[in-house]
Amino acid sequence: MSTELPSAYRHWQNQTRSLLEPLLPYMVPGAADIPIEGQASDHDAQADRLESFARPLLLAAHWLQSAAHPDDEDLRQKLGEWFRTGLAVGSDPNGPHYWGPDANYHQHHVEIGLLAIALQIAPDVLWEPLSQEHKDRVAHWLGTARGNGIVNNNHYFMGVHILEFLIAKGYGRSTDRVVIDTFLDRLEGMHRGGGWFEDGINQAYDHYNAYAFHFYGLWWARLHGHINPARAQRWKDWAQMFVRDYRHFFAASGEHPAFGRSITYRFNGINVFGLAVALDATDLPLGQLRRLCTRNFDFFLRHPIQQSQGLLSMGWLDEFPDLGETYSCGGSPYWSAKGLSPLLLPPDHAFWSDDEVPLPSEEGDHVCHVPTAGLTVRSVDGEVEILNSGSQISNVNLRYGAWKWSKTAYRTGVDFTLARPNPTNWSPDSALTLKIPDGRVFGRHSTVTVEMADDHVRYVYNLGFKPGQTNCSVDTGVWWNAGWILQVHAFENRQPGVLRVGGYALSSSQPDTLKTDESDGLLSVWSNDQGSIL
């Protein structure tokens, strides 16, 4: 094959290689996990071991299936051999590296589903070279996922992809197709309109629409859609609607707002654009989508996102372990590998050669409403701001940290604070919170949008919590004009307390730039060109 690959395509290959090479020193021959430093999850050690294997495997699979280049031959061989060996020994119940079977509501179900997709992304390297004995062993281990309880959210996709893989490779059972259809029906029941899904018991709308619903849905359509063309078309149609909205979530820099859970997956969300192009599920300009994906990918890679081993860290623009979820472990950030979907497009695809087209955030200030999710996205001077009048904070989500959905607004180009998960612990920045005399702090849960207009949104909710019957009902209006947002809160408080209105968090890396001014009953706080007036 000619080494003359398009420069844009080769850039993506090289950026991906830069994420793979640091893993090599930790890929112990004959092992089935990578000792990635970081916290232990709230699952168990076996789950963390499998996660440290399956997620880098997805990263490798995207790169291994891309066009070969002579400079990459040695790395391709090393990665293929190590992962194939890992599959063989990790699935061996009589060996020391066994991952153990799946079980009811176990994290293994998620990682096994991911592994099944990875094996189909690069089958020529990861599956076909396995001996028949090893194929049978891996399939038997995958089969331990049958019949297990699954969390009522996007996790149903894992059962779908595991069983579809087993059927495709000749290991199916007579009951598998009924289970697959049942799970897909449940997932489709989470669609709320316009390509947006409410994530089951989490009751949230956030980047998981891209992270999970469209990633897994489009992969099902790509790999198995011929089984049910009408269903596959529904998923492609939903993706087409979704990407029209979702492209507005990215700033001119490529950054997207840190909104919702699992934001440590960083460039994960751009997967939907590459997959939509691969399935002809978008009519957006290819040059715009390449520009968006590349800018997002490069935005994170030019920041110090590695930990001490040189591997992906927990954090956002740098290593920040506190940003991890309770379900996170050292290998979790490699879920970002989903974002490499553009590499599924061949080098001669127009995606790699069409002239770039500016992002919506580069074409002047604008507003995009997403009524289904209760989100309003607007661009201001190249940055992007999400005004949140709808995403929920369910009782389930409280354990993840309510700050991920409870703030008034989320924005690129600014800092943000987080609060450790606790029902009475809510971040103050860019949020309305209630502090009662005993020191507890409360934020909003169920929110209903009542108005969405060209210059404002209005929504109603309650600050409080069931224990103690804390109750403060609020009717909020948020208006915007250029770089300003004006908040008006009408409230009825049913116990003593103080309402606190927070602006965006100002950068702490330049404390000398922080200035304040108090006059005419107003307090102004600003740093450089960002600030708030209270």
Does residue 398 sit within a domain? yes
Residue located via tokens 């108005």: 451
Residues 54 and 187 occupy one common structural domain: yes
**CA–CA distances in Å: residue 203 to residues 191, 198, 390, 397, 443:** 12, 6, 10, 8, 16
- Note the pLDDT of residue 81: 98
Q: Note whether 41 and 108 are within 8 A (CB).
A: no
Q: How many CA atoms lie within 13 A of 142 on its CB side?
A: 33
Report the distance separating Cα 336 and Cα 215, nearest Å.
Answer: 12
CA distance 253 to 255: 6
Contacts of 5 (CB under 8 A, 6+ apart): 13, 67, 69, 347
pLDDT for the residue 401: 78
In this structure, is residue 16 part of a structural domain? Answer: yes
* Strand-pair partners of 488: 477
Question: What secondary structure does DSSP assign to 410-451, as a single string?
Answer: EETTSB-----S-TT----TTSEEEE-TTS-EE-B-S-EEEE
Domain's final residue, options 320, 335, 357: 357
The verdict on 285 and 321 lying in the same domain is yes
**Is residue 509 a part of any domain in this protein?**
no
404 shares a domain with 497: yes
SS3 of residue 363 by DSSP: coil
Q: What's residue 1's pLDDT?
A: 42
The last residue of one of the domains, among 298, 322, 357, is 357
pLDDT at 511: 66
CATH of the domain at 49: 1.50.10.20
**What's the one-letter identity of residue 34?**
I
Task: Say if CB 230 and CB 174 are below 8 A apart.
Answer: no
**Amino acid code (one letter) for 199:** D
In a shared domain, residues 486 and 382: yes
Task: Report pLDDT for 11.
Answer: 98
Residues 142 and 114 reside in one and the same domain? yes
Residues 352 and 445 in one domain: no
* pLDDT score of 416: 86
Considering the domain boundaries, does residue 519 fall inside one?
A: no
Claim to verify: residue 323 and residue 391 sit in the same structural domain: no
**346 and 370 share one domain:** no
Per-residue pLDDT of the chain (534 residues; tens, 9 = 90+): 446 899 999 999 999 999 999 999 999 999 999 999 999 999 999 999 999 999 999 999 999 999 999 999 999 999 999 999 999 999 999 999 999 999 999 999 999 999 999 999 999 999 999 999 999 999 999 999 999 999 999 999 999 999 999 999 999 999 999 999 999 999 999 999 999 999 888 788 899 999 999 999 999 999 999 999 999 999 999 999 999 999 999 999 999 999 998 999 999 999 999 999 999 999 999 999 999 999 999 999 999 999 999 999 999 999 999 888 889 999 999 999 999 999 999 999 999 999 999 999 999 999 999 999 999 999 999 999 999 998 777 777 777 778 888 899 999 998 888 877 776 778 888 999 999 999 889 888 889 999 999 999 999 999 998 888 999 999 999 999 998 999 999 999 999 999 999 888 876 566 677 777 787 666 777 766 666 665
User: Do 341 and 370 fall within a single domain?
Assistant: no
Per-residue pLDDT at 166: 99
Structure tokens at 270: 């751009």
Containing structural domain, residue 238: 7-357
Do 377 and 470 sit in the same domain of this protein? yes
Q: Is residue 517 part of a domain?
A: no
pTM for this one? 0.94
pLDDT of amino acid 170: 98
Residue 30 included in any domain: yes
Cα three-residue angle 55-59-62, rounded to 5 degrees: 135
Residues 246 and 382 in one domain: no
Give the SS3 label for residue 488: strand
Tokens 């690959």 belong to 5
Residue 246 lies in a domain: yes
The pLDDT assigned to 479 comes to: 97
- In this structure, is residue 512 part of a structural domain? no
| Nearest-angstrom CA–CA distance, 52 and 145 | 19
Output the six-digit token pair for 63.
Answer: 């790169």
**370 residue type, one letter:** V
Residue 6 in tokens? 């398009």
Number of structural domains (the chain) is: 2
Both 265 and 330 in one domain: the answer is: yes
DSSP assigned state of 475:
E
Give residue for tokens 């209903």.
448
